[in-house]
Structure 1
């Protein structure tokens, strides 16, 4: 069977979407014994990992998505005689083969105020159309599945949950010299609390900064705060909050980091905090657990499904709960150790090999 996969997010620093497709394809190619031919479609020439050379790489033109999606992709798939294709979120209106679509979440439907108005309107138009048009829909949590069924009236037997996995690179590292070497560019000379996620309102980082500032003012916490993520829609409010409290010296913003740097940051952090208001999955939760970092995260959306019993769960709308949890986790060694061990076990539940096998099976049935 000829499988076509849209990889336009690879190299685009689209965080979760790119992490998903890279790890999924890597696991697919590693386990394939010649049953399938893989065709990967990129939209611009970017450096690809060597393991992708096992597949056929195609460049789809033009780069403009308004032309590439309705015209470029169908022509390329037809030329390669693809039996079934895999896309994320948006599919061409006319396809020469069945298509399976991954819809990670529909946060733009429930928190429209957190999105650029033009992008939001485009998603509200194209994503439900794509989901209904697809032979099958994939999503990353039971929570997202329920929302997609309810919002878009997708039949339950047409949508499957294939959880994200944890890449092997995310692991507990004891080599202090390696950690120091990787992290020297960030100038982190104090113990720190880590938050990972694009700087946007949905991630609730503004609240985290405010609570952190109050704890420092009361001398209840001495850790620095490290924020990892790219600037997104309305992200400037987070920087304003840092300046408002005069804590620029103690809050580090790194921007985008690569996986090696992220592994080092998880390992060096004393606490990982993820107070998001909404997630379809929440990859950083299990990545940090795999690295041995105790986690504070939210008790909403898909997050309890992913974190299980291995994190301190809080109401993300409560400053007090966030504050209390931060103080507990930086001061209670026994609690830290307990969450670290539970986190290792929880992270092992999410395996890209299993995800890839489930996905290939669904693609075969759809084709």
Structure 2
């Protein structure tokens, strides 16, 4: 594993960079690479090119595995990767085989084992995901580095928790098994006298009835989401696996208590600024912990304060500065 930068970097020479932002649909990975790009391009020696063939260095959004990656993978262009998630390394081979819609992940594993030897540097957002990739995926350890993701400066503590009309916020964008959605629904039913606010498009298509205390909002603008974070008694994400978890950082920055599990990376990201359930599947335990956060102002205030402090460690500027140092190491050192 490679060193972290100790100073704000500037590229040694003018450098043409191609960023892999050519996606057909929006994703959290695309959002992250766009944030990194915007800060990288503030460096006086960094500039973007539209074609990878014109670049001094290419920055990919994943280890190459798609058909459209073949050209750049076979080229000699210096390559840096931001690798997101790691679900395909986390699930066992048997688990993946049991779900026909997940068998593609086995193919990804095999391809990654080969193509991960091509990039000069692969950035992982947490040590947990880096270790999974090395130990289960055969990714060369000497090409990996932990580079935490950041957060938008818009996510900040702008107002007090709403104690007059308390609610729990749930930010989940898909029904992947790792999101533990059935347990979320059970917990809402257990805590029937507390409102749960569910932003995002996913809940409108949920195939089962939701409890009456579930408030499905549909898509909301970022400023509305930030307002929800600020007013919520807690962010509730009982994940079974999380590679990083941008909502954790966003919530902490807004002074919102976080309730989650120790599965995957939450402990590494949140530290002592979150409340952790012991059993990820026990809705009764989850409901009791959420009720304490709704009703116990002192307990909630401790987590809110810890979260605000913890969130200071994460910014897109820091993430971009680390990648600038990586570029410099790859090209000029």
For the superposition of Structure 1 and Structure 2, which TM-score range results when normalised by the shorter chain? 0.7 to 0.9
Q: Is the 8 A contact 1:196 1:229 kept in 2?
A: yes
SS at match of 1:4: strand
Q: Residue 25 of structure 2 corresponds to which residue in structure 1?
A: 12
Query: Which 5+ residue runs of structure 2 have no aligned equivalent?
Result: 1-14
Residue deviations 1:193-226 (CA, integer Å, cap 9, x gap): 101121312111220110220232xxxxx22112
Q: Residue 173 of structure 2 corresponds to which residue in structure 1?
A: 198
Give the Cα–Cα distance (whole angstroms) in 2 for the partners of residues 173 and 103 of structure 1. 32
Give the total of aligned pairs.
Answer: 302
SS at match of 2:81: strand
Residue deviations 1:35-89 (CA, integer Å, cap 9, x gap): 12222xxxxxxxxxxxxxxxxxx3xxxxxxxxxxxxxxxxx322x2x11101111
Give the Cα–Cα distance (whole angstroms) in 1 for the partners of residues 269 and 243 of structure 2. 10
Q: Residue 364 of structure 1 corresponds to which residue in structure 2?
A: 328
Give the Cα–Cα distance (whole angstroms) in 2 for the partners of residues 292 and 158 of structure 1. 36
Choose which of 196, 199, 219 in structure 2 pairs with 1:228: 199
Q: Residue 65 of structure 1 corresponds to which residue in structure 2?
A: none
How far off its partner does 1:335 sit? 0.6
Choose which of 1, 9, 16 in structure 2 pairs with 1:2: 16
Query: Which 5+ residue runs of structure 1 have no aligned equivalent?
Result: 40-57, 59-75, 180-188, 217-221
Equivalences for residues 172-321 of structure 1 within 5 A: 172-174=157-159, 191-200=166-175, 201-216=177-192, 222-231=193-202, 239-240=207-208, 242=210, 247=211, 249-315=212-278, 316-321=280-285
How well do the aligned residues superpose, as a CA RMSD in angstroms? 2.6
Choose which of 145, 154, 160 in structure 2 pairs with 1:169: 154
Q: Residue 85 of structure 1 corresponds to which residue in structure 2?
A: 58
Q: Residue 72 of structure 1 corresponds to which residue in structure 2?
A: none
Give the Cα–Cα distance (whole angstroms) in 2 for the partners of residues 164 and 345 of structure 1. 16
Q: Is the 8 A contact 1:197 1:229 kept in 2?
A: yes
- Taking a change above 3 Å as real, the CA distance of residues 8 and 256 of structure 1, as seen in their structure-2 partners, is farther
Residue deviations 1:255-285 (CA, integer Å, cap 9, x gap): 4433222212211222211111101111101
SS at match of 1:262: helix
Higher RCO structure, 1 or 2 (CA under 8 Å, sep 6+): 2
- Taking a change above 3 Å as real, the CA distance of residues 160 and 355 of structure 1, as seen in their structure-2 partners, is same
How far off its partner does 1:163 sit? 0.2
Q: Residue 38 of structure 1 corresponds to which residue in structure 2?
A: 48
- Taking a change above 3 Å as real, the CA distance of residues 164 and 259 of structure 1, as seen in their structure-2 partners, is same
- Normalising by the residue count of structure 1, what TM-score does the alignment of the two structures yield? 0.75
Give the Cα–Cα distance (whole angstroms) in 2 for the partners of residues 3 and 284 of structure 1. 29
Give the Cα–Cα distance (whole angstroms) in 2 for the partners of residues 115 and 229 of structure 1. 26
Q: Residue 144 of structure 1 corresponds to which residue in structure 2?
A: 129
Q: Is the 8 A contact 1:206 1:241 kept in 2?
A: no
Q: Is the 8 A contact 2:89 2:132 kept in 1?
A: no
- Taking a change above 3 Å as real, the CA distance of residues 190 and 114 of structure 1, as seen in their structure-2 partners, is farther
Give the Cα–Cα distance (whole angstroms) in 2 for the partners of residues 29 and 278 of structure 1. 33
Give the Cα–Cα distance (whole angstroms) in 2 for the partners of residues 250 and 342 of structure 1. 29
Q: Is the 8 A contact 2:117 2:140 kept in 1?
A: no
Residue deviations 1:153-184 (CA, integer Å, cap 9, x gap): 223221001101121010122399xx9xxxxx
Q: Residue 183 of structure 1 corresponds to which residue in structure 2?
A: none
SS at match of 2:198: strand
Of stretches 149-158 and 282-291 in structure 1, the one that deviates more from structure 2 is 149-158
Give the Cα–Cα distance (whole angstroms) in 2 for the partners of residues 38 and 2 of structure 1. 6
- Taking a change above 3 Å as real, the CA distance of residues 363 and 115 of structure 1, as seen in their structure-2 partners, is farther
